[in-house]
Amino acid sequence: MWLGDHDPDAVAWRLADVAAETGRLLRSMEADRGEPRIKDDGSPTTAADLAAEKLIIARLSRLWPGVPVVAEETANDAAPGDAFFLVDPLDGTRDFLHGTGEYTVNIALVAGSRPVAAVVAAPVPGRIWAAGATAMAGDWPAEGGEIAWRSIRVRPAPPDGLVALVSRRHNDDATEACLATLSIRTRRTASSALKFCLIASGEADVYVRCGPTMEWDTAAGDHILSCAGGCVIAAGGAPMTYGRQAHGYRNGAFAAIGDPALARRLSLPVAPVRG
Of residues 171 and 114, more confidently modeled: 114
What is residue 59's predicted lDDT score, i.e. its pLDDT?
A: 98
Q: Are residues 175 and 231 in the same domain?
A: yes
Q: Are residues 41 and 128 in the same domain?
A: yes
Q: Are residues 70 and 184 in the same domain?
A: no
Q: Are residues 105 and 215 in the same domain?
A: no
The Cα–Cα gap between 205 and 213 comes to 20
Domain hosting residue 186, numbered range: 162-265
Which phi and psi (to 5°) does residue 254 adopt?
A: -150, 165
Range with lowest mean pLDDT among 15-19, 223-227, 240-244, 269-273 = 269-273
Whether residue 66 lies inside any domain: the answer is: yes
What is residue 272's predicted lDDT score, i.e. its pLDDT?
A: 45
Give the single-character DSSP code of 18: H
What is residue 255's predicted lDDT score, i.e. its pLDDT?
A: 95
Model confidence over 246-260: pLDDT tens digits? 999 999 999 999 999
162-166 sheet: strands from edge to edge: 184-189, 162-166, 206-209, 254-257, 231-234
Q: Are residues 86 and 170 in the same domain?
A: no
The Cα–Cα gap between 49 and 225 comes to 25
What is residue 152's predicted lDDT score, i.e. its pLDDT?
A: 98
What is residue 171's predicted lDDT score, i.e. its pLDDT?
A: 67
* Mean pLDDT across 5-33: 92
∠66-68-71 over CA atoms, to 5°? 145
CATH number at residue 253: 3.40.190.80
The model's pTM is 0.94
The Cα–Cα gap between 172 and 3 comes to 39
Q: Average pLDDT over the chain, rounded to whole?
A: 90
* Mean pLDDT across 195-204: 98
* Mean pLDDT across 146-173: 89
CATH number at residue 96: 3.30.540.10
Whether residue 49 lies inside any domain: the answer is: yes
Final residue belonging to a domain, choices 151, 174, 204: 151
Whether residue 171 lies inside any domain: the answer is: yes
Whether residue 273 lies inside any domain: the answer is: no
Domain count, the chain: 2
Q: DSSP for 112-165? A: TTEEEEEEEEETTTTEEEEESSSEEEEEPPPTTPPP--EE----PPPTT-EEEE
Predicted confidence band of residue 5 (pLDDT cuts 50, 70, 90): low
What is residue 212's predicted lDDT score, i.e. its pLDDT?
A: 85
**Cα 250 vs. chain centroid, distance in angstroms?**
14
Whether residue 215 lies inside any domain: the answer is: yes
Whether residue 202 lies inside any domain: the answer is: yes
Helix then strand then coil, % of the chain, to nearest 5: 30, 25, 40
The Cα–Cα gap between 162 and 177 comes to 16
The Cα–Cα gap between 48 and 57 comes to 14
What is residue 245's predicted lDDT score, i.e. its pLDDT?
A: 94
Predicted confidence band of residue 11 (pLDDT cuts 50, 70, 90): very high
The Cα–Cα gap between 99 and 117 comes to 29
